[in-house]
Amino acid sequence: MKKKILLPTDFSKNAWNAISYAIELYKNEECDFYVLNVFNATGYALESMMIPEPGERVYEESKEKSEKGLSKILERISFRDQYPNHKFFMISQFNSLLGGIKDLIDKQDIEMVIMGTKGTTNASDVIYGSNTVLVMEKVRNCPVMAIPEDVVYTEPKEIVFPTDYEAHFKRRELQYLIEIAKISNAAVRFLHISNEEILSDQQKSNQKLLKEYFETIPHTFHTLSNVDVKGGLSAFVESRNSDMITFINRKHSFFGSIFSRPMVKDLGYHSKVPVLALHDIKN
């Protein structure tokens, strides 16, 4: 079945790198890629009553700039993507980034968003730009993968899944992780960071569920004690040279707030590997 992948771009180097990563990750899959650039007119707040209309100079100039940028990307892709099973659709939209992404997810039934971690501002002290954080926090019905700017695509061989085993897992929440592990022949490493050495019955039950869900995927379970979550995760990923981190973005989980602003500044090593945020499914 054809996949539908959304690739937001602000024409930065990081955004192009995310597009390249997506093309390679799904090289053997039949895909429709939607490359989205949102534009808004300088000096106008989207929330204000002063929204420029099509036909007005400021609107048309912004639109033209957006469409020219997308044409250049399509040109670069035509040199780059030699996979006949890929199709690309360029979309220029007057909207906020979050608004444009949500709109396209609904209209095109998008199943994955892949974007850069930083935009054109590219401040060196910010690992995850505010737009990426916003999309990862607010897009609740579609997985979001963030690609750091210096990541060169190599087929993922190991995906790290930090978990406290406290929340019940649903198979549908994990389907995209299972799929990525399958298409890239990657192993999944479940990492439990805790000061409690013994799992509760509830935790054991949830761990057992993971064993069942991932029975066709190579996987192992690991525990780290007496370290904080961020430090432990960073050390684990770095020492093993892991290729990706994934987690379920629950609103109330030990990892759920990892993309809050202060936490993001401390992410450290995570800035060097792609991060896949899966969404929790409400009962």
| Domain architecture of the chain: domains with CATH | 3-147 (3.40.50.620), 158-279 (3.40.50.620)
Greatest Cα pair distance, the chain, in angstroms, is 66
Distance separating alpha carbons of residues 224 and 116, to the nearest angstrom: 30
Count how many residues are written for the chain: 283
Higher pLDDT, 261 or 70: 70
| Helices (H) then strands (E): counts for the chain | 8, 10
Which range, 166-170, 174-178, 275-279, is most confident?
174-178
Give the DSSP H/E element, type plus range, for residue 262. helix 261-265
Q: What is residue 44's predicted lDDT score, i.e. its pLDDT?
A: 53
Quick one: 58 exposed, middle or buried, by C-beta within 10 A (0-12, 13-18, 19+)? middle
Q: Can you state the angle between helices 13-25 and 175-184, rounded to 10 degrees?
A: 80
Residue 267 has pLDDT above 80, yes or no: no
Q: How sure is the predictor about 4, in pLDDT bands with cuts at 50, 70 and 90? A: very high
Q: What is residue 30's predicted lDDT score, i.e. its pLDDT?
A: 97
Residue 125 has pLDDT above 70, yes or no: no
Q: What is residue 56's predicted lDDT score, i.e. its pLDDT?
A: 81
Look at 31-40, 82-91, 189-198 and tell me which has the smallest mean pLDDT.
189-198
Q: How sure is the predictor about 283, in pLDDT bands with cuts at 50, 70 and 90? A: very low
Q: Are 120 and 11 in contact (CB under 8 A)?
A: yes
Q: What is residue 167's predicted lDDT score, i.e. its pLDDT?
A: 83
Residue 262 has pLDDT above 50, yes or no: no
Could you tell me the two tokens for 240? 């093993």
Structure-token match 């707030």, residue found = 257
Dihedral (CA of 222, 172, 101, 243) sign:
positive
Other residues' Cβ atoms within 10 Å of the Cβ of residue 103: 16
Give the DSSP H/E element, type plus range, for residue 104. helix 97-108
CA angle, residues 32, 127, 167, in degrees to nearest 5: 70
Could you tell me the two tokens for 2? 């054809």
Q: How sure is the predictor about 123, in pLDDT bands with cuts at 50, 70 and 90? A: low
Q: What is residue 264's predicted lDDT score, i.e. its pLDDT?
A: 42
Distance separating alpha carbons of residues 26 and 113, to the nearest angstrom: 13
Q: What is residue 254's predicted lDDT score, i.e. its pLDDT?
A: 42
